[in-house]
């Protein structure tokens, strides 16, 4: 049963919806437009670095935390910091994935700059590598050199790229498209590998699903995600980040108390079971996978993996492919250890797997919220 039908059945939906005013309820509870303004405003700031940044903040990033803080330096440079409060300590205990999200941001920044002829000269972790976790030191310094870059065709895909978590259709991805994806993600010393071969796809579907279950059934990692869920239009518009549960059905479920943070955290609740039931067919519908590997030599290699992922995601958007990182098995919390080892034995080839992503075709999704440029720019004296 679809989530929609299930919610309607559970809350006696027909009657409830009629009481709430049917169509008017649907219209009033459509996904928040306000939370997505940044997608429309990209490219509008007058100052050139702000203009490039207005595209960079559309980058994919873990749990949509958008942890980017930027200090504009002088007339031609900037420094990127990570907002340390926006990390994911339970699922990402060494901040590896958060750094990947910073890499994706830098790649989009660089593509946006190149469109106007500027080369973004990026120095990764200029004050040294923070370990085992990030600290207040800069993630990257960027200087923009005019007239030193040529436009990158990937620019056109920035505004249409999405993470697509829908169930994928039963349509295979042609080998030449997978090759194009692999080529786009094989940059910055990262190698992108793909498979559409049914035996390996079946194994990867299975292991990614078990990773999803493990994260959901580990109370502290599940709580981290639940805390970042934005349930209903008002929360989405207020936060403009995190994992959104939005739209008329979710609103109905929220209003009737069927979905709440408490219920989502309780493995015995209907809401918790529904969450798992909603994701199971999605994992089972993966038609192909792509993954990124590298030597994982220091923080710069994490930034590089994020940069490679951004290019791969843009290429997927250009090719009309749906993609969805399913990366729980790559996370370094103790309960995931055996699945981490299993995935590395399966596809790691002696390297570090940095991203694992399902690929296919699916109904389109709307853009994820963004907090907007002002949320990322540090004022004088802040860092
Ligand atoms: C390093 C990294 C890991 C991610 N892991 C997952 C994941 O395990 N599951 C998932 O649904 N999305 C994952 N995502 C996708 C983000 O949740 C997504 O980029 C974010 O919510 C913003 O949405 P957008 O990509 O549509 O702009 C990941 C993204 C990055 C960069």
Cα 69 to Cα 62: distance, rounded to the nearest angstrom: 16
Angle between helices 3-10 and 13-20 (to 10 degrees): 80
Tell how far the Cα of 20 is from the centroid of ligand 1, in angstroms. 34
Which tens digits make up the pLDDT trace of 214-233? 999 999 999 999 999 999 99
According to the model, what pLDDT value does residue 81 have?
Answer: 98
According to the model, what pLDDT value does residue 25 have?
Answer: 83
Tell how far the Cα of 46 is from the centroid of ligand 1, in angstroms. 30
Residue from 57, 62, 222 whose mutation best tests the ligand 1 pocket (most atoms within 8 A of CB): 62
Cα 207 to Cα 272: distance, rounded to the nearest angstrom: 20
Would you say 147 and 97 are in contact if contact means Cβ atoms under 8 Å apart?
Answer: no
Residue from 211, 228, 327, 370 whose mutation best tests the ligand 1 pocket (most atoms within 8 A of CB): 327
Among 32, 64, 58, which residue's Cα sits nearest to residue 43?
A: 58
Task: Find where tokens 């940059």 sit.
Answer: 187
Please give the domain boundaries of the chain with CATH numbers for all domains.
36-159 (3.40.109.10)
Would you say 264 and 335 are in contact if contact means Cβ atoms under 8 Å apart?
Answer: no
List, chain by chain if needed, residues with CB within 6 Å of any ligand 1 atom: 60-64, 97, 100-101, 104, 162-163, 165, 309, 324-328, 368
Helix (H, G, I), strand (E, B) or coil at 127: coil
According to the model, what pLDDT value does residue 28 have?
Answer: 86
Q: How buried is 42 (Cβ within 10 angstroms: 0-12 exposed, 13-18 middle, 19+ buried)?
A: buried
Residue from 38, 39, 61, 161 whose mutation best tests the ligand 1 pocket (most atoms within 8 A of CB): 61
Cα 129 to Cα 200: distance, rounded to the nearest angstrom: 36
Percent helix, strand and coil across the chain, each to the nearest 5: 50, 15, 35
Specify the pTM: 0.95
Where the chain has pLDDT below 70, the residues are 1-20, 380-383
Which tens digits make up the pLDDT trace of 316-369? 999 999 999 999 999 999 999 999 999 999 999 999 999 999 999 999 999 999
Tell how far the Cα of 64 is from the centroid of ligand 1, in angstroms. 7
Q: How buried is 220 (Cβ within 10 angstroms: 0-12 exposed, 13-18 middle, 19+ buried)?
A: exposed
Q: Please name the residue whose Cα sits nearest to atom 21 of ligand 1.
A: 64
């Amino acid at each position: 049963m679809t989530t929609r039908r299930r919610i309607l059945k559970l809350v006696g939906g027909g009657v409830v919806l009629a009481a709430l005013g049917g169509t008017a309820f649907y219209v009033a509870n459509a996904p928040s437009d306000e939370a997505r303004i940044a997608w429309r405003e990209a490219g509008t700031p007058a100052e050139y670095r702000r203009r490039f940044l207005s595209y960079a903040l559309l980058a994919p990033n873990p749990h949509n935390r958008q942890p980017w803080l930027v200090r504009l330096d002088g007339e031609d440079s900037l420094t990127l910091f990570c907002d340390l409060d926006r990390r994911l300590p339970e699922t990402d205990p060494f901040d590896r994935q958060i750094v990947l999200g910073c890499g994706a941001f830098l790649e989009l920044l660089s593509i946006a700059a190149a469109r106007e002829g500027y080369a973004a000269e990026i120095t990764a972790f200029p004050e040294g590598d923070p370990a085992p976790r990030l600290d207040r030191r800069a993630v990257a310094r960027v200087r923009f050199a005019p007239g030193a870059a040529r436009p990158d065709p990937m620019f056109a895909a920035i505004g249409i790229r999405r993470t697509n978590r829908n169930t994928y259709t039963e349509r295979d991805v042609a080998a030449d498209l997978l090759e194009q994806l692999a080529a786009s993600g094989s940059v910055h010393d990262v190698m992108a590998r793909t498979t559409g071969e049914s035996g390996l796809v079946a194994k990867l579907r299975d292991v990614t699903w078990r990773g999803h279950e493990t994260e959901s059934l580990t109370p502290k990692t599940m709580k981290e995600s639940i805390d970042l869920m934005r349930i209903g239009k008002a929360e989405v518009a207020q936060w403009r980040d995190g994992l959104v549960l939005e739209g008329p059905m979710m609103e109905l479920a929220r209003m009737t108390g069927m979905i709440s943070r408490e219920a989502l955290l309780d493995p015995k609740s209907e809401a918790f079971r529904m969450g798992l039931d909603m994701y199971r067919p999605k994992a089972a519908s993966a038609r192909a996978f792509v993954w990124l590997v590298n030597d994982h030599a220091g923080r710069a290699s994490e930034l590089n993996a994020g940069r490679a992922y951004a290019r791969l995601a843009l290429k997927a958007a250009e090719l009309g492919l749906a993609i969805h990182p399913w990366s729980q098995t790559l996370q370094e919390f103790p309960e995931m250890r055996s699945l981490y080892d299993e995935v590395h034995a399966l596809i790691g080839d002696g390297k570090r797997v940095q991203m694992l992503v399902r690929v296919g075709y699916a109904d389109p999704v709307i853009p994820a919220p963004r907090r907007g440029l002002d949320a990322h720019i540090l004022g004088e004296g802040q860092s």
